[in-house]
Chain A
Amino acid sequence: MTRTLIQGGWIVGFQQGHHAILRDGVVVYEDDCIVHVGADYAGAVDAVILAAGKLVAPGFVNIHALANVDLQTLVLDTNEDGLATSEAMAKHGVGELEFRTDQLAASARFSLLQLLKGGSTTIVEITAMAPSGFETSRNEAPALADAAGELGARLYVSHKFRAGKRYLNSSGVWRYHWDPAAAQAGLDYAQEIVGRYEGAYGDRIRTMIFPYQFDACTPDLLAAAKAAAVQLKVPIHLHVAQSLFEFHDCLRRHGKTPVQLLDSIGFLDEQAILTHLIYTTLHPAAGYPVGDVSDLQIVAGRGATVAHCPVVYARRNRVLGSFARYRELGINVGLGTDTFPQDMIEEMRWATLGGKWMDRDANRATARDVFNAATLGGAQALGRRDIGRLAPGAKADIIIVDLHRLHNGPVDDPIKTLVYAAAGSDIETVIVDGRTVVADGKAPGVDEDALREAAVAAHRWQLGELAARNPTGKPAGVLFPTSYPVIEGAP
């Protein structure tokens, strides 16, 4: 048994059901659990971490974290032709883009490292699905579980599956290619993954059922997935209402909004995480009467969680209808990163900036609201009272942030400074389950240079493969244009 004391400048402690700021206090943890938060500590300790003048906060609970080398950054500032799926790809598996085993391991480890360094101590992972697949690679969940086991992350891992693949046909019309049998095989394997990894690595690894995208799943598949999750007693995760097309296609197919459909099949409850849930009856682009919150009332009434990932959507010109209204109606909101650089501070910042703008209200979507979402909201989504907070009995998942950097300036309120001024690289120390996984901004025992180079190589490979198989026939330079012309040297 090892007892460690952190002496901090500001402690974000948890008491009486909310975070509270303790100046110049201590957090004490024994092995994987916090035993004390207070002004001081009289007992004996084995180790001391000096964090005077620094912010000691609960690690972030990132409920939609990208666990592979990001493809979405390839289409920044441009259209998404570079990621398009052709009919041949969808129907016949032409152009399968799948990592080799070594690439998969590097991709998984690099992404988790980035997440840990950005302060995410609990990671609900999402990975990109190959355009031609009905499932993610069957090697992926094991690779992620093992990478998290090694790097020390707390991970919720899943095997993703779907019944349909959306593609652009030769006339430029969106179509789906359906294969319910393939979906069932994916769901079977997803349940196998739950059995294999739930509670692994000293219970740092837990699992989920993750039907990939609402629009690529039949109601029957969603109901079957839900039944499996209920039976296995694990959360269920789903991308839903992320595009306007999907919202209206659902109305056309089922006569219901996505939320109404999910409710009609019993999908919504406290175990459901809905990512990104942008297009509801409230969103101005949906065309419903102004202020129609009926979808949101359904979600709130069932206790489901919305995983909000503002950065990736701001990059694609989309924004939640109202962060404040979701919260005020009683919806549990958590935050996720979903794209590189996976910085939860940046996500908090964009949750508040986007939220203030959409509501024309400087005083909503506050630093308090978004910090709560990044910690307590995520914990609630996972049905846990032992993460997202610093209190006796909670897991020793702790970050130490150095606010004494020039860009932060003098601090009046450490939470406002964190949300409005700080950067992920201000996070110095990350502790998960009592183990220090990032110290002084570096991961002890990890060859970060080699891992980074492997990730860069995998990313270059992805770009080349995507360009070579692209159905539009456009060259890489057109699909993935650089900001400025690149002048290569003489060979």
Chain B
Amino acid sequence: MTAPPKVTLIDGGVVVGYQQGGHVILPAGQVVYAGDRILFVGREYAGPVDERIDARGKLVIPGLINHHMAFGIHMQLYRLDATTPNSYNASLGMGVQSERAYHGDGPQATDWRASAAFAMTSALRSGTTTFVMVPNYGSHPYRGRVGSDQELVDCVGGSGLRAYLALPHMSGAVRGKPDGTIEWVQLDAQGWEGLEQAVEFARSHNGAYGDRIRTFLFPYQADNCSPALLRATHAAARELGCLLKIHTAQYLLDFHEVIRRRGKTPIEYLYDLGFLGPEVSVAHAIFTQRHPWTAYPVGADGDTQRLVESGASVAHCPVVYARNGFVLHSFSNYVRAGIPVSLGTDTSPHDMFMEMRTAALLCKLTEADATAGTAREVFDAATLGGARALQRDDLGRLAPGAKSDIVLVGLEKTHLAPVAAIDPIKALVYCANGDDVDTVIVDGVVRVANGKMPGVDLDRLWAGAELFNARLRASVAQLYYLNQPVTEFYEPAFPTWQSEEETA
């Protein structure tokens, strides 16, 4: 017989508790948990307590749900601010892969795991407690990139995070040709094989690590999956009882390609196919009838209605797209229509505070309304929205019976204090960053304490990340993007310093 789990009282913080369907603020509150479950949220807990965490001067929030997390170090920072005009790098089709992408000379499986470990650790450090894995897939089979399936699961299990994992699959690829044209390549056999592997993975590993790890199916991009593959994937998910995620309407390019191929918008196509439902997370659903660039009549918003009717959720990752100059229209339009909207870090940094802030500000700009994209809406998205998308009523909230996924944020700081004294949520959303996170508890285990990560070998983590980066860079240097070497696109912000001899 195992001993009952010890009871921990988090005492004296400003608690974001959950009652009657929403978050509330309890100044000088308490959260009590035992093992993986929260026992009590309120004030004056009367039961026995084994240990206390002093939370005075801190905000106690539910762990953040990073519902669309790039599974590794993202190379976008390097690719920003391209110096050669290249329309396909912008909103038209950022996702177009070079024909020669992923040719195998790049990072090895250990490097990909090191990259994933670095990303997961940085996410955990900044308050993510649950993440949904989104690898940068490319067009070769994903299975094996990070090693065996078990190595993938162990790599994630070792991070301490709560995770949703999938092997992505698709039956096509969109490729930039050397002559500057773009081609959708059909790879049906690859699609069916990928589905088979994905189902096997989902079945084998669901519930691993004491149910911290769950699995889902991930037909990667709607424009790169045949209707038959989507239907079969949908049926397989039903049989497994698992969730689905799909990328669609993320670029103007895939919007127009689906219109050309199917005579429907991407959302309309998936809706009519019967693919959408409450178990489906749609990433990123940017280019819909409501987006001004799709040139539908002003006010047309049938795509939003289809999402509402289907019950599907939208995964919103504003940072990665804002860096490329485009924006969802809009976050609040979806939220206020009743669509579950979640947030994710689809790029580095894996900082949900940055995503919340970016979601809020860009929503205000696109709606021309300072009362849209509120701190409340984006904080809800980072917690309850993600939980709804994952169909979990035990995540994203601090309430008795919920999982012990708890984050403490220090408020007694020069950049936070006055705003936090009036409204700590606005301080979080508008002024904080991930390094303000003080403590992170996942499934009842303290993973971050006083900003430090006990048991994490940071030197080793950094060394692995640097090696991954060097190998990725070396492999990218050999790539062509459309008909140009990629190195010609990207210059550093400033030139290299010249020595006195060089300047003489």
Contact = CB atoms under 8 A, between A and B. Distances in A.
A82 B85 CA distance: 47
Contacts of B370: 77-79, 315-317
Interface stretch (A66-74, A132-140, A193-201): A66-74
Q: Which of A408, A455, A489 has the most CB of B within 10 A?
A: A489
Interface stretch (A110-118, A156-164, A179-187, A260-268): A110-118
Interface stretch (B47-55, B303-311, B428-436): B428-436
A12 interface: yes
Interface stretch (A141-149, A228-236, A354-362): A354-362
Interface in A330-382: 340-343, 350, 352-354, 356-357, 359-363, 366-368, 371
A487 interface: yes
Contacts of B493: 366-368, 371, 413, 415-416, 419
A25 B497 contact: yes
B415 interface: yes
Contacts of A408: 348-349
A488 B14 CA distance: 11
Contacts of B100: none
Interface stretch (A14-22, A97-105, A205-213, A214-222): A14-22
A42 interface: no
Given A73-B426, A340-B431, A409 B348 contact: yes
A78 B360 CA distance: 13
Contact of B379 (A21, A455, A483): A483
Contacts of A405: 435
B22 to A, nearest CB: 7
Nearest to A12: B494
B416 A314 contact: no
B441 to A, nearest CB: 18
Given A360-B325, A483-B426, A367 B503 contact: no
A356 B425 contact: no
A409 B417 contact: no
A394 interface: no
A77 B418 contact: no
Contact of A459 (B324, B422, B496): B422
Given A314-B365, A317-B370, A413 B492 contact: yes
Nearest to A360: B325
Interface in B468-504: 468-469, 473, 492-500, 503
Contacts of B82: 362-363
Interface stretch (A248-256, A300-308, A421-429): A421-429
B25 A487 contact: yes
Interface in A417-443: 417, 419-421, 423-426
Among A20, A360, A362, A368, the most chain B Cβ lie within 10 Å of the Cβ of A362
A482 B365 CA distance: 22
A480 interface: yes
A13 B497 contact: yes
A449 interface: yes
A341 B73 CA distance: 28
A448 interface: yes
A484 B371 CA distance: 15
Nearest to A459: B418
Contacts of B86: 363
Interface in B389-435: 412-419, 421-423, 425-426, 430-431, 433-435
A452 interface: yes
Contacts of A459: 418, 421-422
Interface in B419-472: 419, 421-423, 425-426, 430-431, 433-436, 462, 465-466, 468-469
B253 to A, nearest CB: 14
B242 to A, nearest CB: 31
B23 interface: yes
A350 B24 CA distance: 30
Interface string B119-158: 0011001100000000000000000000000000000000
Interface residues of B, number: 88
B182 interface: no
A488 B418 CA distance: 19
B325 to A, nearest CB: 4
Contacts of B379: 483
Nearest to A410: B469
B84 to A, nearest CB: 8
Given A21-B495, A78-B371, A484-B376, A425 B415 contact: yes
B351 interface: yes
B236 interface: no
Given A20-B494, A406-B118, A407-B348, A416 B425 contact: no
A411 to B, nearest CB: 8
A118 B422 CA distance: 22
Contacts of B433: 407, 423-425
B83 A363 contact: yes
A419 B319 CA distance: 13
B113 interface: no
Interface string A39-70: 10000000000000000000000000000011
Contacts of A23: 496-497
A367 B80 contact: yes
A317 B368 contact: yes
B43 to A, nearest CB: 6
Contacts of B375: 76-77, 483
Nearest to A416: B77
Nearest to B500: A38
A421 B85 contact: no
Contacts of A385: none
Interface string B314-353: 0000000011111100000000000000000000111100
Contacts of A12: 494
Contacts of B81: 362-363, 366-368, 416
Given A114-B415, A413-B77, A15 B371 contact: no
A77 B374 contact: yes
Nearest to B293: A360
A356 B323 contact: yes
A341 B415 contact: yes
Given A77-B370, A118-B415, A483-B375, A319 B492 contact: no
A474 interface: no
A296 interface: no
A11 interface: yes
Contacts of A417: 77
A23 B425 CA distance: 40
Given A315-B364, A404-B462, 20 more contacts: A15-B498, A77-B375, A110-B418, A314-B364, A319-B365, A357-B325, A361-B90, A362-B324, A363-B85, A363-B86, A366-B80, A406-B126, A410-B465, A410-B468, A412-B473, A416-B77, A452-B414, A455-B417, A482-B25, A485-B24
Those 6 A-B pairs whose CB atoms lie nearest each other, nearest first: A22-B497, A406-B122, A415-B493, A407-B349, A483-B425, A341-B415
21 contacts: A15-B503, A78-B370, A117-B415, A317-B370, A340-B418, A357-B327, A357-B362, A360-B90, A360-B91, A361-B90, A363-B90, A367-B493, A407-B122, A409-B465, A410-B73, A420-B80, A423-B433, A452-B414, A484-B425, A486-B24, A489-B26
